[in-house]
Structure 1
C-alpha cells in the first residue's frame, strides 16, 4: 500500500483468499484492505495514538439517512457526554479533495452537528472548526488533542 502523510503505526495485516485484510481496532475485526480503508485505519491510529482520543469514543462506518438515501460516515469521535465532537471523511489517496468532497461531509454534518470536521485522502488533510449557530466554519492547521 501507498505511504501516507501520517506517522508510522503498527498495523496487523493478514492475507486470505488472495486478498489483504487489516485489523480495525475499533470494530475489532479484520476488514478488506482497500485504498480508502488504508486511509481510514491511519486516521483511526492518528486519532487514538497521536491525538489521544479514547478508542471507546471513536465510532467507525455507521449508517445515516441523508435526503432519504442510506449513507455511511467514515469516523465519528464522541465527547464523553455523547455529543459528536469530530466527523471524519476518508477518501482513497487517488481521490482529489475538492468542493464535492467538502459538500459530502457538510451534508453529513448538517445531520450530525459535529464541532470539528476532518477530511483526508491520506496525503492531504483538512480540518475545520464549526460554528453551528452561524452556519460558518474556520479552517485549522490541526484538530485539538483530546481533553476531558
Structure 2
C-alpha cells in the first residue's frame, strides 16, 4: 500500500483467499484492505495516538439517513455527552479532494451537527470548524487534541 502523510503506525494484517485484510481496532475485526480503508485505518490511529481521542468515542462506517437516502460515514468522534465532535470523510489516495467532497461531508453534517470536519485522502488533510449560527465553516491547521 501507498505511503500516506500520517505518522508511522503499526497494523495487524491477515491474508486469506489471496485478499489482504487489516485489523480495525474500532470494529474489532479484520476488513479487506482497500485504498480507502488504508486511509481510514491511518486516520483512526492518528485520532487515538496523536490526538488522544478515546477509542470508546470513535465510531467507524455506520449508516445514516439523509433526506430518506441511506449514506455511510467513515469516522465519527462523539463527545462524552453523545453529541458529535468530529466527522471524518476518507477518500482513497488517488481521489482528488474537491468541492464535491466538502459538499458531501457538509450534507452529512446537516443531520449530524458535528463541531469539526476532516476530509483526507491520506496525502492531503483538510480541517474545518463549524459556525452554525452564521451557517459557514472556517479552515483550521489541524483538529484540536482531545481534552
TM-score (norm 2): 0.99
Alpha-carbon offset, residue 134 of structure 1: 1.4
Q: Secondary structure at the match of 2:111?
A: helix
2:98 alignment counterpart: 98
Aligned to 1:133, what secondary structure does the other structure show? Answer: coil
Which residue does the alignment assign to 1:52? 52
1:92 aligned counterpart, secondary structure: coil
Paired residues for 1:2-17 under 5 Å: 2-17=2-17
SS at structure 1 position matched to 2:15 = strand
| Per-residue Cα deviation, 1:22-73 (whole angstroms, up to 9, x for no partner) | 0000000000000000000000000001000000000001101122211100
Structure 2: 5+ residue stretches without partners: none
Distance across 2 between alignment mates of 1:119 and 1:44: 13
In the alignment, which residue of structure 2 is the partner of 1:109?
109
1:145 aligns with 145
- Structure 1 residue 136: Cα displacement: 1.0
Aligned to 1:76: 76
> After superposition, what is the alpha-carbon deviation per residue over 1:56-94, rounded to whole angstroms, capped at 9, x for unaligned?
000001101122211100000001111100000000000
Compute the TM-score of the two structures, normalised by the length of structure 1. Answer: 0.98
1:122 is aligned to: 122
CA RMSD of aligned residues (A): 0.5
Q: How do 1:20-59 and structure 2 match up within 5 A? A: 20-59=20-59
